[in-house]
Each structure stands twice: as structure tokens, then as C-alpha cells.
Amino acid sequence: MILAGGSGSRLLPLTRVTNKHLLPVYDRPMIYYPIEQLAGAGIDRIMIVTGGNHAGEFLRLLGNGSAFGLRHLDYAYQEGVGGIADALGLTEWFAGGEPIAVMLGDNIFEFSVAPIVRRFLDSPAGARIVLTEVDNPGSYGIAVMEDGQLVRVVEKPKDPPSRLAVTGLYLYDAGVFDLLKGLTPSARGELEITDVNNLYLKKGLLRYDTMPGYWADCGESIRMLQRAAELVAERGANKPMPAERKL
């Protein structure tokens, strides 16, 4: 699943007449990067969850996904802004009782996530998240580490306990949908993916990897959108993992 909804308010006025995931990042639309990333990890069926007034533009741009080597590309529409966990709930029928990869449509990684996906599929019980160091940890879900172990994830902390941010790639077993049904909205009125991750953590079923290279959250600000284009131009995207970091 690729989440490509949201209002894109942090990228106004660029998003006044289009969905933010259709904006260009260097030489192609933003949404191409997560599709290419998941396709490169061997995933051949993808559902894009979007919303707002520009949902039809994805179909015109992407069609059935054959240009990316996909077996099929499905679409779902999210009413309102309910958060990542709410969007994930729309994909239960699509998952069909199998593990699911969830990726945010505005995230770009320098390196391929294929080794991480393979590690999860080798033992697809529980969940796996991907961490990376950031300079602005108050803007993300942040890992709380004790004695080298992940003990909790805190959402957008005012006093960040670390600089390790949870990136926009999540791997879950089929049990995630039962957990979603027990969630209650946060103070923001959304079902939080951080709550899902902490539930898996309490069960001892959450694992994590740390990602080398850059990670760009293109929806964070216009400056980050510009910086993402610069990074892609200078260093590429979705490259094979360095040999010394093979997972």
C-alpha cells in the first residue's frame, strides 16, 4: 500500500490545484519513487490510497501499473484526513490475510529497501519499521532507546529522546487489521500509526532496521521538497544497498 492522501497544506500554494504526490521531484512525479521502490523489492501488487479533489489524476498518470512491472495497481479513496492507520484499514480486503508493506507516498530513500522486505518475509510475523537519524526529530515519530533496545515510539516529541525517526515504510503481518479495530483517535482526531507500532512492541513483535543514506520526507516543507530534488539529482534514489550494509 502507498498512502498518497493528505491535504498537502505544508506545500501551499503548490498543492492548491493538485495532489502533493503528483508534484515533480527532479525528473519524475513524487509518487514514482515509492512505486519504483516497492516494485524493486519484488512487490507486484500495489494499492494507492488517496483522497481529496485530485484522486482521478493518479489513474490518468499511472494507469494499471504495467509501466512499473506491476501485476496490478489498485486504488482506494480515503474520506477526510484520518491518518496513516485509518488509510491502512481501507486495504484489509486487498491484503487478503497476507503480510502488507505500507509506504508513504512522499518518502524517498537513497537506497533500496529490498533487503529489509526480504528479511521481513523470511519471518513475516509481527512488524518491522525502518529508522534513520534526522536533524529535526520533533517533526516525526521518534524511537526511545534503552541499552540499545527499542522500548517505545513517541510521536512528535517536544523533547526528543533521540534523533532516530521512524521513516515512512512499515511492514506488518495480517494481525495489524485486528489491532486497527481497537484504536481510538488521538488528540489530532486521527488513528495514529505510532499506536500500532507500540502495540506490536508491547507484544514483543516489533523489529527494526536502520537505513543508510539520505531519507527525504518531501511533504515536510517546500524547502525539503527542493532538497529532495537536489539529493536525487546528486546521488540518485532507490539504489542497491552498499555491500558493507547488506541486511
**Do residues 211 and 245 touch, judged by C-beta distance below 8 A?**
no
Q: Where is pLDDT greater, at 79 or 99? A: 99
Do residues 116 and 130 lie in contact, with contact meaning Cβ atoms separated by under 8 Å? yes
| Environment class of 74 (CB within 10 Å of its CB; exposed 0-12, middle 13-18, buried 19+) | middle
Average pLDDT over residues 27-48: 96
For residue 199, what pLDDT is reported?
A: 95
pTM value is 0.93
Q: Which residues face 29 on adjacent strands?
A: 24
Query: Which pLDDT does position 232 carry in this prediction?
Result: 98
d(CA 131, CA 168): 9
The domains of the chain are located at 2-245
**CA torsion, points 182, 184, 190, 194, in degrees to nearest 10?**
-60
Whether omega before 13 lies within 30 degrees of 0, making that bond cis, reads: yes
With residue 235 as reference, give the H or E element that holds it.
helix 222-235
The pLDDT tens digits of the residues spanning 92-142 come to: 999 999 999 999 999 999 999 999 999 999 988 999 999 999 999 999 999
| CATH homologous superfamily for the domain 2-245 | Spore Coat Polysaccharide Biosynthesis Protein SpsA; Chain A (3.90.550.10)
| pLDDT at residue number 123 | 87
Which pLDDT belongs to residue 87?
85
User: Cell numbers at residue 221, please?
Assistant: 516543507
Average pLDDT value for the chain: 91
153 by DSSP, 3-state: which?
strand
What is the pLDDT, as a whole number, of residue 189? 65
